[in-house]
Amino acid sequence: MPEGPSIVILREELSQFKGKKVLKVSGNSKIELERMKGKKVLDMRSWGKHFLISFDDFFIRIHLLMFGSYRVNELKETAPRLRLEFKAGEFSFYACSVKIIEGDVNDVYDWERDTMSDVWNPEKAYKSLVAEKEELICDSLLDQEIFAGVGNIIKNEVLFLTKVQPESLVKDIPRKKLKEIVKTAREYCFDFLRWKRKFELKKHYTVHTKSVCPDCGSKIVLKQKMGRRQRRSFFCENCQVLYLK
């Protein structure tokens, strides 16, 4: 599933169509496709894992789910969920969720929750995190209402960098350490973006998909389904602390 930094790259790539009029709409999505025909794209935004295409009185929300993809000025053999054609180009989305949402995007989304936003609010994230007392930290980091854009790769890497085991309950983790997790999550998102732009993200993984800890040489633990969200966790039992009270 693409994480927030990848959606920022998507937004940047499609920004060439901002201000352009949609000439043709197609796809196998069940939304009212014709509603976009003849309308001008007013803006393109990203919020967490959501890509947003704004028109005059509604916007389109794209979520790439686990296996979604997109193409610019080319087509895949499979049918697109949504394809928008313009005078000078086109783009298509595949295997994704497409939804029309009425109104202004700013009335729907809290930009202070988006880890990639210029107005990201770390204090708001910290307070929301502290409130999730009974949650495992591995689940809280994937909570899009707290860390919009953080996915499983970022979760694993942030917990390694902050030396916290993913099965630690939020209430048992020292407040200073929780603030460090919030700060590191934001910083790692921008590291992820920089590495992704250079096509070198994977070479910077420390624990995600790894078998040996880069710090102590111990075997990396892999738990395929951890926590309420049942996501894969990679961690070092030697270097990362399991907080208990």
CA 146 to the chain's CA centroid: 12
Tokens 């936003």, located at residue: 117
The CATH number of the structural domain formed by 4-109 is 3.20.190.10
Per-position b or e across 171-195, b if 16+ CB within 10 A of its CB: eebeeebbbbbbebbbebbebbbeb
Radius of gyration of the chain (CA): 20
Per-residue pLDDT band at 223 (split at 50, 70, 90): very high
Per-residue pLDDT band at 90 (split at 50, 70, 90): very high
Average pLDDT over residues 121-133: 97
Average pLDDT over residues 114-124: 97
| pLDDT surpassing 80 at residue 161 | yes
| pLDDT surpassing 80 at residue 54 | yes
Tokens 């860390």, located at residue: 147
What's residue 245's pLDDT?
Answer: 81
Please give the mean pLDDT across all residues of the chain: 96
* Percent of the chain residues topping a pLDDT of 70: 100
**139-158 confidence digits (pLDDT tens):** 999 999 999 999 999 999 99
To the nearest 5 percent, what fractions of the chain are helix, strand and coil?
30, 25, 45
Average pLDDT over residues 21-50: 96
- Give the C-alpha separation, 235 to 245, whole Å: 21
Per-position b or e across 98-109, b if 16+ CB within 10 A of its CB: beebeeebeeeb
- Give the C-alpha separation, 2 to 149, whole Å: 9
What's residue 199's pLDDT?
Answer: 96
Query: Which distant-in-sequence residues (6+ apart) come within 8 Å of 33 by Cβ?
Result: 25, 26, 27, 82
| pLDDT surpassing 80 at residue 1 | no
Dihedral (CA of 243, 182, 12, 112) sign = positive
Using DSSP's 3-state secondary structure scheme, residue 178 falls into helix
| Architecture of the domain defined by 112-235 | Orthogonal Bundle (1.10)
* Percent of the chain residues topping a pLDDT of 90: 97
Q: Half-sphere exposure of 241 toward its Cβ, with a 13 Å CA cutoff?
A: 11
Tokens representing 187?
């910083």
CA 85 to the chain's CA centroid: 26
**Domain coordinates in residue numbering, the chain:** 4-109, 112-235
* Beta-carbon count within 10 A of 38 CB: 11
